[in-house]
Amino acid sequence: MTRPARILPLIVFSQFTGTSLWFAGNAVIRDLQLAWGLGEQSLGYVTSAVQLGFIGGTLLFAILMIADRFSPRKVFFCCAMAGALANIALLVAPQGLTTLLLLRFATGFFLAGIYPVGMKIAAGWYRQGLGRALGYLVGALVVGTAFPHLIRASGAELPWEQVIVGVSILAVSGGLAMLLAVPDGPHLATGSEFNPRALGLVFRSRKFRASALGYFGHMWELYTLWAFVPVWLLVYAGDQGIALNVPFWSFLVIAAGFLGCVIGGVLSQQMGSARVAAIQLAVSGLCCLLSPLLFDASPLLFLAFLITWGITVVGDSPQFSALNAANAPREYVGSALTIVNSIGFLITVFSIQLASSLLPMIGAQYIFWLLIPGPIVGLLAMRALFNDAASS
């Protein structure tokens, strides 16, 4: 079956629109803190609620084999609709932190039928070149995650309600595009039944442990940086006494990861996924280490540094996915990837909450030092991948 030229652009578009739901709450949290009387730590709680919802959703979808028992594009459509409803319900729900957390949890739950299911849809159309296609898909996730900040930046007086409505409409459009214009691919495979006992079995593999621990180190850093980039920009602008469009630069810093994903995917064909992932993880770890010094830098240097960090902090993500899939036992690939993704997103909850709790004590300048252990542990674990390659 010939693959129509529209397939990859439409999947990328739908992935972008669906995942724009991820940080919609973060983009308007300052407005909600004022309008609803929320505390400063609500940023960490809101981000963690989405992560926990995504963890619960991925596990339940895997156990019930939702994307195997039903057409993945229909699952994607239904979850895009449900996620948009959970997002827009903020406009009519009772005001309060509990309501906000429940709705963000629900949004994260339905994202489990968007992000990983979008990858499964792509795999149904690509027997060869899937790695490159996944680079674009993860890049679409990155831009989608950043997009609510761009909507917010479109006008300083734009009400938060309009941001939420805009993101929800975007998610609906992506769900419809996937349903109506992307048929199930000829290579669509039925996954093996989820086996929770695979946790002990898959980690017996030395190479799988190495790639999984590298991924865990990457996740310790990634979402905490994304969540606190607006805080960092706001504090820096205040210290320097300059006017800075914080939502716009937040968008650019996060969306820059698209370049890291796509360029990393291309380079991996020559250098290998492990080397590309290690280089990007090392650069982002170095950014963690140097971050306090940037508060004394010029605005041009400060923003260039953040863009570089944004490129590398997520550019290794598709390569870790490829490594985990390649190193997992063949009979447990689906279970292994589900387990590793769930653990990885659970790690982000601890990292985000730690940063949120310590921010008032240590200040924004030093907050990203808390992320340094992630890249260090990840790089140390990945040595096994290079040692095995050198000895073979």
- For residue 37, the tally of other CB atoms under 10 A from its CB is 11
In which band, very low, low, confident or very high, does the pLDDT at 88 lie, cut at 50, 70 and 90?
very high
338-362 confidence digits (pLDDT tens)? 888 899 999 999 999 999 999 999 9
Q: How many residues does this entry show for the chain? A: 392
The fraction of the chain above a pLDDT of 90, given in percent, is 65
CB 297 within 8 A of CB 240: no
In which band, very low, low, confident or very high, does the pLDDT at 210 lie, cut at 50, 70 and 90?
very high
- For residue 288, the tally of other CB atoms under 10 A from its CB is 21
Listing DSSP states for 69-131 in one string gives HS-HHHHHHHHHHHHHHHHHGGGTSPSSHHHHHHHHHHHHHHHTTTHHHHHHHHHTT-SSSHH
In which band, very low, low, confident or very high, does the pLDDT at 391 lie, cut at 50, 70 and 90?
very low
Q: 116 or 331: which carries more pLDDT confidence?
A: 116
In which band, very low, low, confident or very high, does the pLDDT at 209 lie, cut at 50, 70 and 90?
very high
pLDDT of residue 190: 65
pLDDT of residue 189: 63
pLDDT of residue 1: 58
Q: 378 or 195: which carries more pLDDT confidence?
A: 378
pLDDT of residue 16: 94
Report the pLDDT averaged over residues 273-301. 95
Tell me the CB-side half-sphere exposure of residue 19, using CA atoms within 13 A. 25
Q: 175 or 201: which carries more pLDDT confidence?
A: 175
Say what the pTM is.
0.90
* Residue 166, token pair as written in the block: 């805009």
Q: 189 or 146: which carries more pLDDT confidence?
A: 146
* Residue 314, token pair as written in the block: 């997520």
In which band, very low, low, confident or very high, does the pLDDT at 200 lie, cut at 50, 70 and 90?
confident
Structural domains of the chain, with CATH: 8-181 (1.20.1250.20), 195-392 (1.20.1250.20)
Q: What are the Cα distances from residue 270, in Å, to 179, 214, 267, 275, 276?
A: 36, 21, 6, 10, 10
148-176 confidence digits (pLDDT tens)? 999 888 765 678 999 999 999 999 999 99
| Helix 299-315 and helix 317-327, axial crossing angle in degrees, nearest 10 | 20
Residue 190, amino acid: T
Beta strands per DSSP E along 104-244: none
The fraction of the chain above a pLDDT of 70, given in percent, is 94
| Average pLDDT of the residues of the chain | 90
Spatial separation of the C-alpha atoms in residues 60 and 65, rounded to whole Å = 8
Of 352, 349, 353, 355, give the one whose Cα is nearest residue 369.
Answer: 355
Q: What are the Cα distances from residue 14, in Å, to 137, 194, 252, 269, 365?
A: 10, 26, 20, 26, 37
289-318 confidence digits (pLDDT tens)? 999 999 999 999 999 999 999 999 999 998
Spatial separation of the C-alpha atoms in residues 385 and 61, rounded to whole Å = 31
pLDDT of residue 154: 78
356-381 confidence digits (pLDDT tens)? 999 999 999 999 999 999 999 999 99
In which band, very low, low, confident or very high, does the pLDDT at 392 lie, cut at 50, 70 and 90?
very low
